[in-house]
Amino acid sequence: MNISFNSKAASYEQNALVQKTASEVLLGLMSIKDGEDVLDLGCGSGSVTRKIALLTRGMVVGIDNSDGMINEAVRNNCGQTNLSYLVKDAGCLGFINQFDVIFCNSVFQWFQNPKKVLEQCYTALKSGGRMGIQAPATAKYCPTFVAAEAKVRTDSATRETFSCFNRPWFFGDSAEEYRQIFEDCGFNVVKCELIEESNKYSADQVYKIYQSGAENGFLNQSFYTVPLTDAYIETFRMLVKEAIKEQSDEFGMVDLKFIRIYLVAKRII
């Protein structure tokens, strides 16, 4: 068994609660204007891409490296004629001076080589175009998930296999680190801020939120140097559920915190 975004495509929109909430903040920061051409980088199943296509009569393109996500996005398209989707890797965009806006929501943490991606994005933007990102940030990106990971790392049933896990995420330690990465690629950063966001969810909801994002890394064979067994995956999930329940209050609610980077940058040439 291998867990990936392909296998989660059908349920992603239902479970990606925190990603949706953060996307509304990023949409507000980007202030997309009618007529602007927009690239949704890492569009997933297209729920936010469809919203973007309602804000502009310009061309809107959603890309994702998951076939399953793009298939789901195409299936969910409601006849919006200015909207298209492509299966494409963010490090190999191939666009030149095509977009006024690049929108990147809850995806930047998956770029193991962010500078390569940003170089492609800079080239894809028109002169004066802008790029906005929102992503979990810092090693303490989500204390609830960090605690769950610690439980898996130390449990006798999972620690040996988990020691062969290679983390796929990029988490900058500070807003300044993110700013520097963008500036190194030629961008002018106009907003860059780390924000802690907190919302209460039931333990079951928190587990679904975990499955919509983090699990696609933690239980993906691509990031292990040893084979994953069904028993390991089952035990891993059980331990995560236990860790989440241990952090719930007397009403079964969890105060789910995320540290997020919000950054807006412009192409100046």
pLDDT at 263 over 70: yes
Buried b / exposed e along 149-184 (16+ C-beta atoms within 10 A): bebbeeeeebeebbeebeeebbbbeebeebbebbee
How much is the pLDDT for 4? 54
Domains along the sequence of the chain with CATH:
5-267 (3.40.50.150)
Q: Which residue has the tokens 């810092």?
A: 138
pLDDT at 185 over 50: yes
Radius of gyration of the chain (CA): 19
How much is the pLDDT for 242? 98
Using CB atoms within 10 Å of the CB of residue 263, give its burial: 0 to 12 exposed, 13 to 18 middle, 19+ buried.
buried
Whole-angstrom CA distances from 180 to 107, 174, 176, 183, 187 are 18, 10, 6, 5, 9
Q: What mean pLDDT comes out for the span 245-257? A: 97
Q: What mean pLDDT comes out for the span 173-194? A: 98
Q: What is the band of 1 on the pLDDT scale with cuts at 50, 70, 90?
A: very low
Q: Taking the alpha carbons of 62, 191, 22, 118 in that order, is the dihedral positive or negative?
A: positive
DSSP string of 162-186?
A: HTTB-------SSHHHHHHHHHHTT
Which DSSP letter does residue 229 get?
P
Q: What is the band of 10 on the pLDDT scale with cuts at 50, 70, 90?
A: low
Q: What is the band of 59 on the pLDDT scale with cuts at 50, 70, 90?
A: very high
How much is the pLDDT for 78? 83
Largest CA distance in the chain: 57
Q: What is the band of 16 on the pLDDT scale with cuts at 50, 70, 90?
A: low
How much is the pLDDT for 201? 96
Query: Is residue 17 classed as helix, strand or coil in its secondary structure?
Result: helix
- Helix or strand holding residue 151 (H, E): helix 143-154
> What percent of the chain clears pLDDT 90, i.e. is strictly above it?
89
- CA–CA distance, 19 with 175 (Å, rounded to integer): 20
- CA–CA distance, 125 with 196 (Å, rounded to integer): 30
Q: What is the band of 158 on the pLDDT scale with cuts at 50, 70, 90?
A: very high
Q: pLDDT per residue over 215-238, tens digit each?
A: 999 999 999 999 999 999 999 999
C-beta neighbour count of 1 within 10 angstroms: 11
- CA–CA distance, 90 with 123 (Å, rounded to integer): 12
All residues at 6 or more sequence positions from 66 whose CB lies less than 8 Å from its CB, including other chains:
4, 5, 6, 9, 44, 87
How much is the pLDDT for 11? 57
How much is the pLDDT for 21? 83
